[in-house]
Structure 1
Amino acid sequence: MPAQSAEQLWKAFNETTDTHGASYQTRWFGDQNQPEQVQAATDAILAGQKTATTTPLDSYTAEQVAIPQVGDYNILFNGDLKPVAVLKTVVSELIPFYRISAEHAYHEGDGDGSIGDWRKLKTAEFTPALEEHGHHLNPDTPMVSEVFKVVFRAD
């Protein structure tokens, strides 16, 4: 039976592995007000099609959220904001926008998987939020490039 809460999922995960006292954060991918977008990203993660993400550094600083670190655990929520898996961060790097690799873009699983399409999609996604904080997207805009893996599933 799937976990009813993040705490229950974390407890079930801890019964199968030793996390050495690690803690977790909760996480979803996409706009929380667009559950179909969150669900599509969750489905791609659970299918292994999305294993990476990129976020402007400004988003972390503006929201006063910690930058992902290698070894961090996250409870992944689906479009209904129900816990479905535990993710572990395996790579976290600070990289300028135009230095994000084609391989990383491919592993994000967006669009056609090419770096050109990734840049087009991410420019449209990142520009409004950066401008809201008085910044503009340019080739040197710092990005947090993260790779994660599913280490436990609720089902």
Structure 2
Amino acid sequence: MPAQSAEQLWKDFNETTDTNGASYQTRWFGEQNNPTQVQALTDAILSGAKTATTTPLDTYTAEQVAIPQVGDYNVLLDGNMKPVAVLKTVVSELIPFYRISGEHAYHEGDGDGTIGDWRKRKTEEFTPALEDHGLSLTPDTPMVSEVFELVYRAD
């Protein structure tokens, strides 16, 4: 039975492991106002098809959100903003856009899994957001490249 709240899911997870007093943040992937997209990305994570993500550094700066750090825990929310799992950040690197590897692109679980398709998709995704902040996407735009692992499921 899924947890009723992020706090309860975190408590349930802590009963199965020693997190040494670690804390958590709630997190979802995709646009919160697009529950179908959020659910599709959540499903990809729960199935193991998605184990990585990339975000322009400027997005974190503009939104005043902390950059993921190795060892961070996140309670994953689904398309209904309900907690379904706990993720742990295992890699967090700052890499220029055109230095993101084909392996990382594959682990993002989008499109056909190739670096060419990834670059096309991410250019379409990142360009408007960066332009909203008066910036542009270039080959050298710093990206936060993150790898996470699913460490606990609510079901």
TM-score past 0.5 threshold: yes
Q: CA RMSD in A?
A: 0.3
CA deviation vs aligned residue, 1:8-63 (integer Å, no higher than 9, x gap): 00000000001000000000000111100000000000000000000000000001
Give the whole-Å Cα distance in 1 for the aligned partners of 2:85 and 2:108.
Answer: 18
Residue aligning to 2:26: 26
Question: Secondary structure in 1 aligned to 2:151?
Answer: strand
Q: TM-score, normalised by structure 1?
A: 1.00
Q: State how 1:115-154 maps to structure 2 within 5 Å.
A: 115-154=115-154
Q: Which runs of 5+ in 2 are unaligned?
A: none
| Aligned equivalent of 1:13 | 13
Number of residues of Structure 1 aligned to a counterpart in Structure 2:
155
TM (norm. structure 2) is: 1.00
Q: Distance in 1 between matches of 2:52 and 2:96?
A: 16
What is the Cα deviation at residue 109 of structure 1? 0.4
Three-state SS of the structure 1 residue aligned to 2:119 is helix
Instruction: Tell me how far apart the structure 1 counterparts of residues 42 and 65 of structure 2 sit (CA, whole Å).
Output: 21
Identity of aligned residues (%): 84
- For residues 149 and 83 of structure 1, the distance between their equivalents in structure 2, rounded to whole angstroms, comes to 16
- 1:105 corresponds to: 105
Write out the 4+ residue segments of structure 1 that deviate beyond 2 Å after TM superposition. none
| Offset at residue 120 of structure 1 (A) | 0.2
- Matching residue of 2:94: 94
2:55 is the alignment partner of 1:47: no
Q: Unmatched 5+ residue regions in structure 1?
A: none
Structure 2 residue 58 is matched with structure 1 residue 58: yes
Q: Which amino acid aligns with 1:25?
A: Q
In 1, the alpha carbon distance for the partners of 2:26 and 2:96 equals 26
Q: Aligned partners of 2:105 and 2:2: how far apart in 1? A: 31
SS at match of 1:85: strand
| Equivalent residue number for residue 3 of structure 1 | 3
